A and B are shown apart, each in its own frame.
Chain A
Amino acid sequence: MSQHEMREQRIQEDALLMERVAARDASAWRLLVDRELGRVLMLAKRMLNNHQDAEDVAQETFARLWQQAPRWTSEARIGTWLYRVAHNLAMDRLRHRQHALDDAELLVEMEESLPAPARESPLARLEQAEQRQLLDAAMARLSVRSRTALLLVNVLGLRVAEAAGVMHLSDQAMASLLARSRRQLRLLLTPWHDTLLGE
């Protein structure tokens, strides 16, 4: 099965799920919430850097999905729709906060900006926590646009065109933003190569 066919199949599956939601099938709603709430919350939290705001955004996003259920059209995946709404709501909150984050691409030496991890950690779990801490800190140094692009494509698995739709960008602008964001994140993480990759 080609990627296109797989995507079409998933869209059809999502449409069926939304039909059940529109028919007030509580189990379908629970399935949807369990599948997507954590991902929406992750996107919102990493965009906003604030857990309470992220929870508010996630709740509002799902409230809109619930309202949208009777009018759902099978043109997009539920996840893509949710990320778009969550992205818009999060951007509104950022504007209200008057955070001038966009396009101020910041490259700061990680040695100066990040706490040094304990390199002699004996437990793999701790090492994984260190890796996650470093990655989180590095992503937090990126602009919100760069961070969002990476999250949508590399973490949440959207295609570039889908992520472009979520962020209201052209496909070309999205690809360019993504390439720039990846380059910046690689640079930020390079000093921690050994810790991150265990070599």
Chain B
Amino acid sequence: MNRSDDRWHSDTITDQDLDDLLAQVPPETPSGRLRARVLAMADHPLTENGHWWWPFGPLWRPVAVLACSALLGLGLGMTWSTTGFSQDQRMWDESVFLLFGPTEGE
């Protein structure tokens, strides 16, 4: 900068200048769409846990656990092969027969 010292000091932005400039920064004007979306939050019921779409409070945890358990059981039940179980049982019987010979019932 090709300025003399005096000129430099007189042209320096002071703390007060900066305060004044920053104080002029206006807030943003929100779009009508944003304002409407935020205001619309008040149209939903406010519950203790804060979710308008779930009116049962903290009950969601046990409900979620039960639902997961039910789904898991349903999935296992649908995919578990009963023939597979029979084959396993037959292999076990044959192994016992080879190891220990015929049992009393046979």
Listed in ascending order, the chain A residues whose CB lies under 8 Å from chain B are: 21-22, 24, 26, 29-30, 33, 37-39, 41-42, 45, 54-55, 58-59, 62-63, 66-71, 128, 131-132, 135, 150-151, 154-155, 182, 185-186, 189-191, 193-194, 196-197
Task: Establish whether residues B23 and A154, one from each chain, have CB atoms under 8 Å apart when the complex forms.
Answer: yes
Q: How far is the CA of A59 from the CA of B24 in the complex (A)?
A: 25
Q: How far is the CA of A26 from the CA of B39 in the complex (A)?
A: 8
Asked whether A68 and B30 contact (CB < 8 A) given A24-B42, A24-B45, A190-B11, the answer is no
Q: How far is the CA of A106 from the CA of B30 in the complex (A)?
A: 30
Chain A CB within 8 A of B104 CB: no
Asked whether A135 and B13 contact (CB < 8 A) given A37-B38, A58-B34, A68-B50, the answer is no
Within 8 A of A (CB), among B1-51: 1, 11-15, 17-19, 21-31, 34-35, 37-39, 41-43, 45-46, 48, 50-51
Number of A-B residue pairs having CB atoms within 8 Å of each other in the complex:
103
Task: Establish whether residues B23 and A26, one from each chain, have CB atoms under 8 Å apart when the complex forms.
Answer: no
Asked whether A189 and B13 contact (CB < 8 A) given A24-B46, A135-B25, the answer is yes
**B interface residues, how many (CB within 8 angstroms):** 33
Listed in ascending order, the chain B residues whose CB lies under 8 Å from chain A are: 1, 11-15, 17-19, 21-31, 34-35, 37-39, 41-43, 45-46, 48, 50-51
Q: How far is the CA of A45 from the CA of B26 in the complex (A)?
A: 12
Task: Establish whether residues B35 and A33, one from each chain, have CB atoms under 8 Å apart when the complex forms.
Answer: yes
Which residues of the other chain, A, contact B15 by a CB distance below 8 angstroms? 182, 186
Task: Establish whether residues A37 and B35, one from each chain, have CB atoms under 8 Å apart when the complex forms.
Answer: yes
Which residue of the partner chain B has the closest CB to A29?
Answer: B42
Q: How far is the CA of A26 from the CA of B50 in the complex (A)?
A: 16
Task: Establish whether residues B38 and A59, one from each chain, have CB atoms under 8 Å apart when the complex forms.
Answer: yes
Task: Establish whether residues A58 and B30, one from each chain, have CB atoms under 8 Å apart when the complex forms.
Answer: yes
Which residue of the partner chain B has the closest CB to A186?
Answer: B13
Q: How far is the CA of A180 from the CA of B83 in the complex (A)?
A: 76
Which residue of the partner chain B has the closest CB to A68?
Answer: B50
Which 8 residue pairs are nearest across A and B when measured between Cβ atoms?
A67-B50, A38-B27, A154-B22, A41-B28, A29-B42, A42-B28, A193-B11, A186-B13
Q: How far is the CA of A37 from the CA of B40 in the complex (A)?
A: 14
Q: How far is the CA of A22 from the CA of B50 in the complex (A)?
A: 10
Task: Establish whether residues A155 and B38, one from each chain, have CB atoms under 8 Å apart when the complex forms.
Answer: no
Q: How far is the CA of A190 from the CA of B7 in the complex (A)?
A: 12
In addition to A150-B22, A197-B13, 19 A-B residue pairs with Cβ atoms within 8 Å of each other are A24-B46, A30-B42, A37-B38, A39-B27, A41-B30, A54-B28, A55-B30, A59-B34, A59-B37, A63-B41, A66-B42, A67-B50, A68-B50, A70-B50, A131-B21, A131-B24, A154-B19, A155-B25, A186-B14
Task: Establish whether residues B18 and A186, one from each chain, have CB atoms under 8 Å apart when the complex forms.
Answer: yes
Task: Establish whether residues B18 and A62, one from each chain, have CB atoms under 8 Å apart when the complex forms.
Answer: no
Which residues of the other chain, A, contact B50 by a CB distance below 8 angstroms? 66-68, 70-71
